[in-house]
Structure 1
Amino acid sequence: MEPGAEPRGLDRQGRKIPGGDRTGEGGAAPAGEARGCITPSLSLPAGAGTEEENSQQKGPAGTESPGRSQSPAWGDTGWVGQQQGDPVGEIPEGAEDRELLPKHLKGQKSAICPDCGKSFGNSSHLARHRRTHTGEKPYTCPECGKSYRQDSHLAQHRRSHTGERPYKCTECGKAFSQSSNLIIHQRTHTGERPYTCGECGRSFGHSSDLAQHRRVHTGEKPFPCPQCGKRFAQSSKVTQHQRFHTGERPFGCPDCGKAFRLSADLLRHRRTHTGEKPYGCAECGKRFVESSHLIRHQRTHMGERPYRCPQCGKGFNQSSNLLQHQRTHRGERPYICSDCGKAFGVSSALLQHRRTHTGERPYRCPQCSKSFSVSSTYNIHRRTHTGLKPYACTDCGKAFSRKNLTRHQRVHTGEKLHRCAECGKGFVRLHHLTSHQRIHTGERPYCCTECGKRFTQLSGLTTHLRIHTGERPYPCTQCEKRFAHSLSLAKHQRTHGAGTSDP
């Protein structure tokens, strides 16, 4: 052994190389075993042979050939870059198990973004990330020209043209174009809600839903309208809001052509054509077109009135009713009829009033074809066919519609909510008070078109008109004589002895 040379079978640190002492004649390793000292999981790159083979790669005066790496690294076929004089098959310290090295290197993020400093495990991930700074979208759809930063996003998009839905739910068979959408959908079957709010503990099936929900706690509204500056917690709400500026109504009804700004509005509208009422009350079975209407209705069973007026303490089961009521305190009537100038505190009241000008009667009874301008009047009329009186008085058992029950119960309580400011007289109904007040004011708003005579009440005018028309709507059942007034009929029936007992 030459001076300074290391014994065969030992590395520079004096460690024994596996298989290093298996030499044949003349101390040379048997043919084919020069690489046998390496574990099967390691394969030497081309040119990494015996010491003699390595020495042939040295340049003049023992210099190393150009291109030899001075630091160990993994090549395409294994570990490369031995230092000059390294024994054949030496495994660098810390790399005995090749399977651990890629995992080790994966944890290192050597590719750093010069724009934001974010680190990545390889240059391709960095290149993809940098497109978020440059705005580059190199992958273009040949169908519609839309561009994407990643080829995987383009592949997903192209399924919208082909209709391909390769990801199918094993529970219900529903198919999706993206695997992520399938995963989200499957939570509807499992009930899984993996995203929990740290503030209130509420759970969500989608991370995006949690992000939106958290803005309820933070008050964050990161999406502004470019037209008016109004801010929103969700980007989709900005898109919807902008349609108020543009007037765009992209969702058209295929039945009547009416267009809507929101798809949800179209869905609700279409139920007017189909008659679908998917939301049913568990208490009475009544069904509704919208879930909000069901919630509102359920408060009639529970007696819940969560919206209370701070001025008078009156409670309401709808927030909109409270807002309308508060206008009675302020005297506010913001809705004005463009035809006659009459003002209303509620938009629905203006809508109903305008039908007196247009003659519109949109609510038609399917039984008798009678039409109505107000939905509540139509609903009351329908009960004449069905005989339905769903609200019973707890005092006497008499059945009524809801509005009439409230009125009837005042008979038992003696309550007279409506009081005359002039004389203090109380009335059960508001229109009775209105009629009474004309005694004090002398107002006679109902005028006969035939003779000009005026009346304080509509019923007085109706009775008077029979003088001109000759109408006698009250017949006697005994002699078929007819009368213009019900009181006249009652007086006449006494001549027949109606209402008297037999001897």
Structure 2
Amino acid sequence: MCARTTPKDKEELFGVKEESEEHLQLLGHVCMQPRVVLRRADVGEKYLGPEKQELKSLHVKKEEEEHAYIKEEEEPLRVKEEEVEDDVTKSPLTFVALKSDDNGEHEEDRGAEPQSSSSTQYMKTEGDADQWGPPQAQSDDTRSQSADTDDDDDEYAKGDHADNNRCKCSRCGKTFSSKWNLKVHLRKHTGEKPFACPDCGKSFSQKSDLTIHTRTHTREKPFACPDCGKSFSVKGSLKIHTRTHTGEKPFACSDCGKSFSVKGSLKTHRRTHTGEKPFSCPDCGQSFSHQSHLTIHTRTHSGEKPFACPDCGKRFSDKGSLKKHTITHTGEKPFACPDCGKSFSVKGSLKTHRRTHTGEKPFSCPDCGKSFSEKGSLKIHTRTHTGEKPFACPDCGNSFSKKGHFKIHKRTHTGEKPFSCPDCGKSFSRKVNLIIHTRRHTGEKPFSCSDCGRSFNNKFSLIIHARTHTGEKPFSCSDCGKSFSDKGSLKKHTRTHTGEKPFSCPDCGKRFSYKRSLKTHTRTHTGEKPLACPDCGKSFSQQSHLTSHTRRHAGKEPFSCSICAKRFSCQKLAERHECAGDNSSDL
């Protein structure tokens, strides 16, 4: 209850005022001096005299400043200490009598957690020092508790006091230094996203995330790099970017020692050791170690291609593919090989190319041990063991193990031949065929046989030729057992057993087993004779006819009659020869 104010009480009151001013000066320091206790009476102001009302207002003011101090210590990363000191020193010390509400709580305490169940609240005093502990120890404990809540939310709830006991999540067991941080954390479990973007309607669980998101609409980038001037919308992105200048890589892998500038990159890298692929496609079930890889993969199902080339309008499913494509317009090749000087438009292509100099083949097949310089080559190779052919033609059902082969095959249905010779205008469905063809104009034959020195304009022809020296014939006919040095010859041979004639003449409908035979036949309709004799200029429609003709100029007649020994320049003339000796033997 209230007692009469005496002169002695006035002296204590003046002493308290002086101590309050001294207390405000020491708020920015770590250690705080003990303060005199003042108890708040549980009575209305109308029952107090003017002097007691002044005393009560002083107590409320001191409690408000104490609350601000606790809040600053509870969230050290959210408010700078310099700003708190400025706010305290700039605010004048005034004494205002505050009304009590019906529940006995003051207005500045609404929304805050009560410190005790009693209606009477206490300030810390010298007598209570042992119970409360030194202020420095309490602030250190609060700092350690708030360290775990840095990733939860940057927004601070005013009036949210930290309990002596940490707030624990009932679902995952994670602890937090305040109820507000726990409340924000629970949105991860409930999926609540109360902060919506007014421009696009996208929702967020934290206000700070919404603030960052709105910058995608305003294009605001308030954080600029002092070294290169590049700007960022998020302060954390600037911090990561500065490491490109300093070369700092603070996150090291405990397994292989590789270092990273971003913690997320280390986390993703660790999955290469563990084999973890936590991101699964809901459509086909394929798993990925990166969230971004899953996002790009899902666009293969939806057909979405959100990235468009500003020059030609071609669209892509991922930003990296668009970036590579734009270089085809500029012709830029900024990545040069230090060994041979060859330039590349993509850094990854240079990295792969360097292995041709070093001979490095870091990717090995677990089944046969064969090594490869590219990871993609290993992936394709493993399909030879599994028999997997994931690329199926929707027109004929033919399947392929490589996407490139499937793409080329589709041109057989569409008739597309996008690669044209600049010299003669002939078109091809494959780029490699165009490259080989152009060598016929230039006469270039870069592939030479090490045994006989014969040169060829493509590597495949050299491989087939080399088998004439080794006698290797790896392709055998399943019907008659005859062997061949190349797969194409075996394919043509099987038609002699099946009688297949897939090539038909568009003029007369006659069918042929070989494409070359059809090409020669069409000349009988057109009258074309593109093969001319270099000696007399006579033209022929077939290469065999020209060869026989040139032998007459050279006097070569390698074919002879077995009876009369008459010689001929071609085998067919020898077969047509009607020998008199052969006729007499029949008689």
Fold equivalence (TM over 0.5)? yes
Q: Report the alpha carbon displacement of residue 372 of structure 1 after superposing the two structures with TM.
A: 1.6
CA contact (8 A) 2:408 2:430 kept: no
Find the aligned partners of 1:411 and 1:70 in 2 and give their Cα distance: 105
1:131 corresponding residue in structure 2: 142
Alignment equivalent of 2:462, drawn from 416, 433, 446: 433
CA contact (8 A) 2:194 2:203 kept: yes
1:249 corresponding residue in structure 2: 277
Q: Does 1:461 align with 2:490?
A: yes
Find the aligned partners of 2:388 and 2:72 in 1 and give their Cα distance: 70
Pair 415,163 (structure 1): closer, same or farther in 2 beyond 3 Å:
same
Q: Report the alpha carbon displacement of residue 334 of structure 1 after superposing the two structures with TM.
A: 4.4
Q: Does 1:359 align with 2:370?
A: no
Bigger shift: residues 295-304 or 327-336: 327-336
CA contact (8 A) 1:278 1:287 kept: yes
CA contact (8 A) 2:215 2:221 kept: yes
Bigger shift: residues 315-324 or 387-396: 387-396
Q: Does 1:207 align with 2:153?
A: no
Q: Report the alpha carbon displacement of residue 194 of structure 1 after superposing the two structures with TM.
A: 0.9
Q: Report the alpha carbon displacement of residue 212 of structure 1 after superposing the two structures with TM.
A: 0.9
Q: Report the alpha carbon displacement of residue 125 of structure 1 after superposing the two structures with TM.
A: 11
Find the aligned partners of 1:178 and 1:478 in 2 and give their Cα distance: 75
2:7 corresponding residue in structure 1: 57
Pair 489,156 (structure 1): closer, same or farther in 2 beyond 3 Å:
closer
Alignment equivalent of 2:224, drawn from 196, 205, 214: 196
Q: Does 1:176 align with 2:204?
A: yes
Pair 321,234 (structure 1): closer, same or farther in 2 beyond 3 Å:
closer
> Alpha carbon RMSD of aligned pairs, Å?
4.5
Pair 276,385 (structure 1): closer, same or farther in 2 beyond 3 Å:
farther
CA contact (8 A) 1:392 1:400 kept: yes
Q: Report the alpha carbon displacement of residue 394 of structure 1 after superposing the two structures with TM.
A: 4.4
Q: Report the alpha carbon displacement of residue 210 of structure 1 after superposing the two structures with TM.
A: 0.6
Find the aligned partners of 1:486 and 1:165 in 2 and give their Cα distance: 67
Q: Report the alpha carbon displacement of residue 145 of structure 1 after superposing the two structures with TM.
A: 3.5
Pair 141,69 (structure 1): closer, same or farther in 2 beyond 3 Å:
same
1:159 aligned partner, one-letter code: R
CA contact (8 A) 1:112 1:126 kept: no
1:6-405 correspondence runs (5 A) = 57=7, 69=15, 72=18, 121=85, 130-133=141-144, 138-340=166-368, 342-401=370-429, 403=431, 404-405=433-434
2:142 aligned partner, one-letter code: R
Secondary structure in 1 matching 2:7 = coil
1:5-52: CA deviation from partner (whole Å, max 9, x where unpaired): xxxxxxxxxxxxxxxxxxxxxxxxxxxxxxxxxxxxxxxxx99xxxxx
Pair 443,335 (structure 1): closer, same or farther in 2 beyond 3 Å:
farther
Q: Report the alpha carbon displacement of residue 309 of structure 1 after superposing the two structures with TM.
A: 2.7
2:462 aligned partner, one-letter code: L
Q: Report the alpha carbon displacement of residue 205 of structure 1 after superposing the two structures with TM.
A: 0.7
Find the aligned partners of 2:216 and 2:172 in 1 and give their Cα distance: 33
Find the aligned partners of 2:501 and 2:171 in 1 and give their Cα distance: 78
Secondary structure in 2 matching 1:69 = helix
Q: Which has the higher contact order (CA 8 A, sep 6+)?
A: 2
TM-score by length of 2: 0.59
Bigger shift: residues 142-151 or 396-405: 396-405
CA contact (8 A) 2:391 2:401 kept: yes
Find the aligned partners of 1:483 and 1:185 in 2 and give their Cα distance: 67
Find the aligned partners of 1:110 and 1:273 in 2 and give their Cα distance: 54
Secondary structure in 1 matching 2:220 = coil
2:271 aligned partner, one-letter code: R
CA contact (8 A) 1:128 1:149 kept: no
Bigger shift: residues 283-292 or 335-344: 335-344
1:411-454: CA deviation from partner (whole Å, max 9, x where unpaired): 44444443444555443322122223334444433334455444
TM-score by length of 1: 0.67
1:168-196: CA deviation from partner (whole Å, max 9, x where unpaired): 33333333332222221221122111111
1:23 corresponding residue in structure 2: none
1:248 aligned partner, one-letter code: E
Gaps of 5+ in 2: 22-35, 37-49, 52-60, 89-123, 125-134, 148-163, 530-587
Find the aligned partners of 1:245 and 1:393 in 2 and give their Cα distance: 49
Q: Report the alpha carbon displacement of residue 152 of structure 1 after superposing the two structures with TM.
A: 3.2
Pair 416,299 (structure 1): closer, same or farther in 2 beyond 3 Å:
farther
1:262 aligned partner, one-letter code: H
Q: Report the alpha carbon displacement of residue 479 of structure 1 after superposing the two structures with TM.
A: 7.6
Pair 490,376 (structure 1): closer, same or farther in 2 beyond 3 Å:
closer
2:111 corresponding residue in structure 1: none
Pair 208,288 (structure 1): closer, same or farther in 2 beyond 3 Å:
same
CA contact (8 A) 1:137 1:148 kept: no
Q: Report the alpha carbon displacement of residue 473 of structure 1 after superposing the two structures with TM.
A: 4.7
